[in-house]
Every structure is written in structure tokens, then in C-alpha cells.
Structure 1
Amino acid sequence: MDKKLEKIKNMVNEKGIFHIFAIDHRDVFVKCLEDNVGHDVTPEEITEEKNRLMEAVSEVTGGYLIDPVYFVKEGHLDARLSGHPFMMGVENSNYDISCVDDNYLYSDISVYQIWKMGGSMVKLFVYYHPHMEFRHKILEIIHQVEAECKKYDMPFLLEPIIYSEHPLEPEIRLSLMKEMLEQLKKVQVDIYKLEFPGDVVVYDDEKNIEICREIGKLIQTPWIVLSSGVSAEVFTKQLALSGKSGACGYAVGRSVWGKYPGTDNKKMKEMAHILSEFVACANKYCKPWNEK
């Protein structure tokens, strides 16, 4: 079997669906943890808490999205994976578009290192705007990671998010999203990780499904929906609509763990229950990643 194909299949369940617990957040995770425990925390405590949350959902998740800052120590993986596969992000935590430069990628990790540690996929987060000058440097960075993934036969997951200094109207955001994805068509992406392209408040289900299908047709690439920190209720709705439109799973972070870092084991079970509902929703509505 093709090595890249084998790694992708390792990340999905028996139905071919992605169930990813995203715990790669940095500043927002630290703030949440410190707010809950009432004091500053050390890097070691952050790593331990991230691992504790991962263990709490180990029976309901299919894989993890982790970061190199808290999970890689002296070149070695420090993650309690409970037998699950992982993907890792390679971007730095500075998302300031005014200084997108050669330091955008995290200097202490590489595609090669992720491959060597047994990673199943490489994730790159980028802000993007189809009309802004900084997109040219972002494209260079994307192509750099793309080339490295190709070199080591690693699946490449791209997470492009529309940049805006203020909230956008749904139709404007969708238009920009389409332009962005059109400009990214020449990039060899294996999986896209996208924000829900519709709006469950403004549009009815039929319109949202139409929008999601437009996006799927445009990219001609498997895609999973990210949670963007929305409520569990809203994300369940978004996930169902995305799945009905061809999405092959999800990556969920703050929408499931947002209030739980630093809490007791009883709360951990509550968090796992929320995630189990996303699992059931995705299994019911999402399509296998390799289904055309």
C-alpha cells in the first residue's frame, strides 16, 4: 500500500471518517487552564494537562492534533496517545500578518521530525485573504510545507482561514472563501480543514447544504470541518450539515475542551460525553474520506 495512503487510513475510523481531538492550541489553552486553577502554570504542567485531557477522551476519539511546543521534548514525543494516531502542526504561534516571514514555521519541528516520530499527518494553519499582499508570502510557506510532505510521503492537511480585522457578513465571507480556495487549487493538499462555510443562524438547512456542496465541488479534495470554538449545540448542527454535503469528519478543539482544563475527573467524563455526541453525529452524516 502507498505510504501516504496508509497514513491517511490510519487517521480515520472503520467508516473512513476523521474524528480528531484538537489539542494543539497554545495561548488560548494556557489562559483557560490558568483561569481555572487560579495561578500561573509551567510548561510541564501544560503538557501534563493536555495529556490528561487526551486520556479522558481516548475511548471516543479517533486521533489527536497536537503541537510541537508542549508535546516534543528534546526531539522526542511526549504524548500519551493511548494507541491513537496523531497529526502535528508546524506553524509558529505568531499569526501577525504584518510580519509574515521565514519565521512563520516553528523552528524546532520539521516534516521530517514528525515523520520520524510516527506522525500520520502534517497540519499547516494559515490566515489568508485573496486580495491582500501578505498572501504571496503565505503561498510560499504553503508550497514549502507541501514540498517537504511530498519528500517524506506525508499527508498534508491545510487549514486556511479567511483573515479579517472585523466580522464579515456571511455572503462576503463565503465569496472570499471561494476566491481563496480557487487561488490554492495548485497546492497538492490531501485534506482540507475548513471553517463551516455557511451560517446556521442566517441560512436554512437547504441553503447551508448547497453552500457546503459548492465548496466541496470547488476543492475536489476531502475536507473536514473545524469547530472554531462555537458551542457544542451549534457545532453539532454544523457537523451534520457538513456531513450531509460531503465532509469526511471533523477536528474539534475549544468547542469540546474549552471549559475543562484544570477541572476534576468528573468534569472530564462530561467532556468525553460531549465528544461522543460529535462522534455519533459524524458517523451518521459524514462521508468516507475516499468517497467521490
Structure 2
Amino acid sequence: MDKKLEKIKSMVNEKGIFHIFAIDHRDVFVKCLEDNVGHDVTPEEITEEKNRLMEAVSEVTGGYLIDPVYFVKEGHLDARLSGHPFMMGVENSNYDISCVDDNYLYSDISVHQIWKMGGSMVKLFVYYHPHMEFRHKILEIIHQLEAECKKYDMPFLLEPIIYSEHPLDPEIRLSLMKEMLEQLKKVQVDIYKLEFPGDVVVYDDEKNIEICREIGKLIQTPWIVLSSGVSVEVFTKQLALSGKSGACGYAVGRSVWGKYPGTDNKKMKEMAHILSEFVACANKYCKPWNEK
């Protein structure tokens, strides 16, 4: 089997659907944890808590999205991830578009290292705006990572998010999203991780499905929907509509774990139950990643 194909398959279930538990957040995770425990926490405590959350959802998760800050020490992957499929984010946590430079990528990790650690995929988050100057540097960074992934036969997951300093009208946001994805067409992406392109408040189901299908047709690449920290109810709706439109799964973070860092084991079971509902929804509506 092709090595890249084998790695992608390790991240999906028997139906070919992605169920990704995203725990790569840094500042927002630390704030949630410190707010719940009532005191400052050490890097070691953060790593322990991330692992505790991952263990709580291990039976309802197809793979993890992790960060190199808390899961890689002195070039070695946290041993507790052994045997678990994972993808790793490689961007720094400073997303200030006014100073996008060669330090955008996290300096202490590389595609080669992730490959040696047994990673299944490399993820890159970027803010993007099709009309703003900073996009040119972002494109350089994307192409740099694209080349590294190609060199090591590593699957490349790209998470491009429309940059805006204020909430956008749904029609304007969709238009910008289409322009962005059109500009990214030359990038060899294996999986896209995208915000829900419609709006479950403004549009009816039929319109949202039409919008999602337009996006799928535009990118001609498998895509999963991200949760963006929305409520469980909203994301369940977004996931079902995305799946009906051709999405091949999800990556969910704050929408599941947002209030649980630092809580007791009973609460952890509650979190796992929420995630199991997303699993059922995706299995019902989403399409296999390799289905045209």
C-alpha cells in the first residue's frame, strides 16, 4: 500500500470517516484549565491534563490532533501516544497578520520529525484573506510545508480561515471563502479542514447543503468540518449538513472539551458522551474520504 494512503487510512474508521479530537490548542486550553482549577499551571500539568482528556475519549475517537509544545520533549513524542493515530499542528501560536514571517512555523518540530515519530498527518492553520497583502507570505509558508510533506510522503492537512477583524455577513464570508480556496487550488492538499461555509441561523437546510456542495466542487479535495467552538447543538447541525453535502468527517475541539479541563472523572464521561453523538452523526451522514 502507498505510504501516504496508509497514513490517511490510519486516521479514519472502517467507514472511511474522520473522527478527530483536536487538543492542539495552547493559550485557550491553558486559560480553560486555570479558570477551572483556580491557579496557574505548569507545562507538565498542561500535558497531563491534555492526556487525561484524550484518554477519556479514546474509545470514541479515530485520531488526535496534537501540538508539539506539550507532546514533544527533547525531540521525543509523549510515550502515551504510542499506538494512537495522530496528526500534529506545526504553526506557532502567534497569529498576528502584521508580522507573518519566517518564524510562523514552530521551530522545534519538522515534517521529518513527525514522520519519524509515527505521525499520520501534518496540519497547518493559517489566517487568509484573498485581498490582503499578508496572503503572499502565507502562501510561501504553505508551499514550504507542501514541499516538505511531499518529500517525506506525509499527508498534508490545511486549515485556512478567513481573516476578519469583525463578524462578516454570511454572503460576504462565503464569497471570500470561495476566492481563498480558488487561490489555493495549486497547493497539493490531501485534506482540508474548513469552517462550516453556510449559516444554520440565516439559511435553511437546502441552502446550506447547496453552499457546502459548492465548496466541495470547488476544492475537489476531501474535507472535514471544524467546530470553531460553537455549541454542541449548532455543531451537530453543521456536521449533519456538511456530511449530506460530501464532507468526510470532523475535527472537534473546544465544542467538546471547552468546559472540562480540570474537572472530575464523572464530567469526563459526560464529555465522551457528547463526542459519541458527533461520532453517530458523522457515521450517519458523512461520506468516506476517498469516495468521489
Q: TM range, normalised to the smaller chain?
A: over 0.9
Q: Give the superposition deviation at 1:82.
A: 6.9
Which blocks of at least 5 consecutive residues in structure 1 are unaligned? none
User: Residues 65-98 of structure 1: CA distance to partner in whole angstroms, max 9, x if unpaired?
Assistant: 0000000000001153373200000000000000
Please tell me whether the aligned partners of residues 55 and 80 of structure 1 are also in contact (alpha carbons under 8 angstroms).
no
Q: CA RMSD in A?
A: 0.7
User: Residues 23-61 of structure 1: CA distance to partner in whole angstroms, max 9, x if unpaired?
Assistant: 000000000000000000000000000000000000110
SS of the equivalent of 1:211 reads helix
TM-score (structure 2 length as normaliser): 0.99
- Decide which moves more: 78-87 or 137-146: 78-87
Superposed, 1:231-270 pairs within 5 Å as 231-270=231-270
Identity %: 98
TM-score (structure 1 length as normaliser): 0.99
User: Residues 123-148 of structure 1: CA distance to partner in whole angstroms, max 9, x if unpaired?
Assistant: 00000000000000000000000000
Instruction: Measure the CA separation in 2 of the matches of 1:5 and 1:237.
Output: 30
Tell me the equivalent position of 1:290: 290
Return closer, same or farther for 1:250/1:79 CA change in 2, 3 Å cut-off: farther
Runs ≥4 residues deviating over 2 A: 79-84
Instruction: Measure the CA separation in 1 of the matches of 2:286 and 2:81.
Output: 24
Instruction: Measure the CA separation in 2 of the matches of 1:52 and 1:120.
Output: 21
- Decide which moves more: 74-83 or 221-230: 74-83
Please tell me whether the aligned partners of residues 51 and 79 of structure 1 are also in contact (alpha carbons under 8 angstroms).
no
Instruction: Measure the CA separation in 2 of the matches of 1:268 and 1:11.
Output: 23
Instruction: Measure the CA separation in 2 of the matches of 1:231 and 1:110.
Output: 34
Instruction: Measure the CA separation in 1 of the matches of 2:22 and 2:243.
Output: 19
SS of the equivalent of 2:81 reads coil
Instruction: Measure the CA separation in 2 of the matches of 1:273 and 1:58.
Output: 12
Please tell me whether the aligned partners of residues 224 and 250 of structure 1 are also in contact (alpha carbons under 8 angstroms).
yes
How many pairs are equivalent? 292
Instruction: Measure the CA separation in 2 of the matches of 1:52 and 1:83.
Output: 16
Return closer, same or farther for 1:99/1:216 CA change in 2, 3 Å cut-off: same
User: Residues 202-230 of structure 1: CA distance to partner in whole angstroms, max 9, x if unpaired?
Assistant: 00000000000000000000000000000
Please tell me whether the aligned partners of residues 156 and 189 of structure 1 are also in contact (alpha carbons under 8 angstroms).
yes
Which blocks of at least 5 consecutive residues in structure 2 are unaligned? none
Return closer, same or farther for 1:82/1:271 CA change in 2, 3 Å cut-off: farther
